[in-house]
Structure 1
Amino acid sequence: MSTLKAKIRADLTSAMKARDKDRAGTLRMVLSSISEAEVAGKEAKELTDEEVTTILTREAKKRREAATAFADGGRAEQAEKETAEAAVIADYLPEQLSAEEIVDLVSKAVEQTGAAGEGMRAMGKVMGILTPQTKGKADGGAVAAEVRKQLA
């Protein structure tokens, strides 16, 4: 069992003992998503910490998007619930990169690929270098937006 999955399972037990329904519910949903990913495909497999982090990132993104949609729809209470769930999931994700760190990484990648003069055609090259560096540490949309800004 991956250490991250074991930590989530242990924290679920602690949350249940503390009668923290919101945290326990969120951790149950996350463990359910992890289990679902383990049995998806032709044969069941044990996920690595990196694969669990990918699932956590996807779940956190779902919560952020849902919170935005609920807030735009005038359902503040539901938006707060989704935001709280995203915060619980964020506890298990690696430290997120700041905006300045993203700008710095993008400028280094543009420099490394020599893509400064090529414009938007070079976006694939630059993103190819950045994606492994930022996976799980930054929102892909934010990274792509910064790449577009620097290549424009």
Structure 2
Amino acid sequence: MGLEHLINQDLKEAMLAKDRRKLEALRAIKAALLLEKTGGGRGDAEIPETVELKLLQKLVKQRRDTAKIYREQNRADLAEEEEYQASIIEKYLPEQMSEEEIQAVVDKVVADTGASSMKEMGKVMGIVSKQLAGKADNKTIALLVKKKLS
């Protein structure tokens, strides 16, 4: 079942349950998917799963960053709303890998490519990011690759 279909189903359930907060988060996902579909030059074609995952990760990151700003401005009420929306959106992402699991993949890719310096970080990052698309945050991957190559 595609993400778009799943979101539409959950939207209907949230409407019936009159869950305003969840509805807001689901509508944000639907809007982002629709923008991707129409702006990506796909027409009515399905959005690839990798693009969907990146889109969801972007939405979660936006919510977390916004919540952090609200906390810095002493607006806990708004921060909680953003964090709630991030938690709803995260439910549609695959389970995130632990740092140890990511490190194992990084170690394997570094060994396979023979990378030994920071000059080769881009090559290693590209391979690891593709392998772990949607399962790990690129910020964490970058930190672990840096640590391994330096």
Query: Letter of the aligned partner of 1:91 in structure 2?
Result: K
Equivalent position of 2:88 in the other structure: 88
Q: Which runs of 5+ in 2 are unaligned?
A: none
Matched position secondary structure for 2:97: coil
8 A contact 2:53–2:133 mirrored in 1? no
| Deviation sequence 1:7-49 (CA, Å, 0-9, x none) | 1110010011011110011101110111111111556243233
Supply the AA of the counterpart residue of 2:57.
T
Match of 2:110 in 1: 110
Q: CA RMSD in A?
A: 1.5
Letter in 2 for 1:140: N
- Deviation readout 1:49-106 (Å, 9 max, x if unpaired): 3322221111111111111222222222211111111100011011111111111111
Give yes or no for contact 1:26–1:85 (8 Å, CA) kept in 2: yes
Distance 2:145 2:50 in 1: 25
CA shift in 2, pair 1:31/1:115, >3 Å: same
Residue among 124, 127, 142 paired with 1:126: 124
Q: Which residue of 2 aligns with 1:101?
A: 101
One-letter amino acid matched to 2:105: L
> Aligned residue pairs: how many?
149
State the distance in 1 between where 2:112 and 2:42 align. 40
Contact 1:57/1:136, CA 8 A, preserved across alignment: yes
Give TM-score, length-normalised by structure 1: 0.91
Q: TM-score, normalised by structure 2?
A: 0.92
State the alpha-carbon separation in 2 of the partners of residues 69 and 5 from structure 1. Answer: 30
Alpha-carbon contact 1:5-1:52 (below 8 Å) kept? no
Name 1:136's counterpart in structure 2. Answer: 134
Structure 1 residue runs of 4+, over 6 Å off? none
